[in-house]
Structure formats: structure tokens, C-alpha cells
Amino acid sequence: MKLVFLGPPGAGKGTQAARICEKLEIPHISTGDMLRSAIAKGTPTGLKAKSYVESGGLVPDEVLIEMVRERLHEADCTNGYLLDGFPRTVHQAEALNEISAPERVVNVYVADEKLLDRLTGRRVCRSCANTFHISALENDKVCPDCGGELYQRKDDSPETITNRLNVYHSQTAPLIDFYTALNTLVTVDGDQTPDRVTSAILTALGC
Ligand code: AP5
Ligand code: MG
């Protein structure tokens, strides 16, 4: 199945994508994770992307479209993919339709006022990349899944989160109409427990 997860920062796209990909046996392609890895390695893409990612702006379309085009041509995408965080502009969505059009787009809806707490409290594991909220952690430095070191993303500061939300509403939310017109959009309430959100997504996908 070819899937896209759409939704504001902190909606739970990454949390849910990990679960759905395991179930459907398709690769989880998070453009945010790819960019953070490129920045950490200092690759040419990472150098171009760094200032945009750290300020909460969008990395230029051409950089993202090329990165996703290459990734979707890899062998593990023959049975489908789950794109998390791409497309984020109408131009990216038009390009994706030409590369490999998604069959379903899952819009994970959470109201803005819930997102600030989710994002300022997020911790990510450096080893296994799993994501947690501090309210569910006994020790906010150690990953409960693998014992790795937990860290806070640079763009999870209150000022940068505000910018990311503004960017989402002005540049990415128009994709809701774009995919509604193509009859591929399903909207799921992301403001429930993670298990309930997973069930709602699987039901919406007919799985
Ligand atoms: P990206 O990494 O994609 O960030 P984002 O869209 O801002 O989304 P997040 O990863 O912050 O949130 P999420 O929805 O994955 O939530 P999560 O599951 O972690 O992009 C980062 C940057 O890269 C962008 O700002 C941009 O600069 C650049 N970029 C990436 N793609 C691009 C593109 N296509 N074009 C241009 N630039 C691009 O959960 C969040 C928190 O909530 C966690 O603490 C989690 O534990 C908690 N949580 C999850 N589910 C629940 C629940 N059901 N109830 C309560 N808490 C929950
Ligand atoms: Mg994410």
C-alpha cells in the first residue's frame, strides 16, 4: 500500500507510522528523520537543510523532491511505502503524483493547543529512534526500550514550535483540500490514546 501521513507537528505521525509500517510491512520514510541524519553527517543535503530545520521553516521543494524520488526508487518500496512528513506543499504533492501517487492519505487531526505540550515534552532515543513523552518516563535521559540516550530535538523549543505551526497552516494544510479533491483523504482523530489512534487508522484503511 502507498500511504502518506499528513498532520501538524506533534500530531503523532512518527509514533503511528512506526506501528502501521510494522503491521503492513512497508518502509517508514520520514523526511524529517532523513534530514536530521543528513545534518548530523554533514552531507551536502544536510548543509543545505540545517538552517531551515533548526528554525522550523520548510527546506526548499527541489531538495526534498529529489531526496524522496531517490528513496522511492529503492528496492524496499516495491510493495509500497509510508511517507511521514512529505509532501508538505502543493508543489511537493504534484511531484509525488508523478513519481508514485499515494493510494491513501491519512490526515491525523489534533488541535493546536494540544501540540505545544506534546512537543516540548518529547524525547527521542539516539539509538533506536523511538519517541516518548516525559510524562510517561521514569528517567528522561534513558530509553526504556533499549537503554540508549534520550535527547530533545533542537526544533522542540516553544518559539520554533510556533513557527512550525504557522508554516503548517499556511503551506501544508492546503493539502487537505488537494487530496480531498482526489478522493484519497481519510481523517483520523489523533487526540486519543496511541492505541486507539492506531485502531482508527487501521479501520480507516480497511485493514
Ligand atoms: P518532521 O520531523 O517531519 O517534524 P514535524 O512535522 O514537525 O512533526 P513531528 O516529528 O514534530 O511530530 P509527529 O507528528 O511525528 O509526532 P510524534 O509521533 O513525534 O520535520 C522536521 C523539519 O524537517 C521540518 O520543520 C522542516 O524543516 C523539515 N522537513 C521535513 N520534511 C519536509 C518537507 N517535506 N518539506 C520541507 N521541509 C521538510 O509525537 C509527538 C509527541 O507526542 C511525542 O512526545 C509523543 O510521545 C506524543 N504523542 C504521540 N501520540 C500521542 C497521543 N496519541 N497522545 C498523547 N501524546 C502522543
Ligand atoms: Mg515525526
Give tens-digit pLDDT for 151-200: 999 999 999 999 999 999 999 999 999 999 999 999 999 999 999 999 99
**Coil, helix or strand for 179?**
helix
Q: Is 164 in the pocket of ligand 1 (CB under 6 A)?
A: yes
Give tens-digit pLDDT for 76-95: 999 999 999 999 999 999 99
Nearest CA to ligand 1 atom 48: 12
Residue 158, φ and ψ in degrees, nearest 5: -55, -40
User: Measured between alpha carbons, how far is 53 from 100 in angstroms, rounded to an integer?
Assistant: 26
Contact 9, 119 (CB under 8 A): yes
Read off the pTM: 0.96
Task: Provide the annotated active-site residues.
Answer: 13, 88, 122, 153, 164
What domains sit in the chain, N to C, each tagged with a CATH number? 2-26+79-110+160-204 (3.40.50.300)
List 108's β-bridge partners, or say none. Answer: 188
Residue 193, φ and ψ in degrees, nearest 5: -60, 155
Nearest CA to ligand 1 atom 34: 86
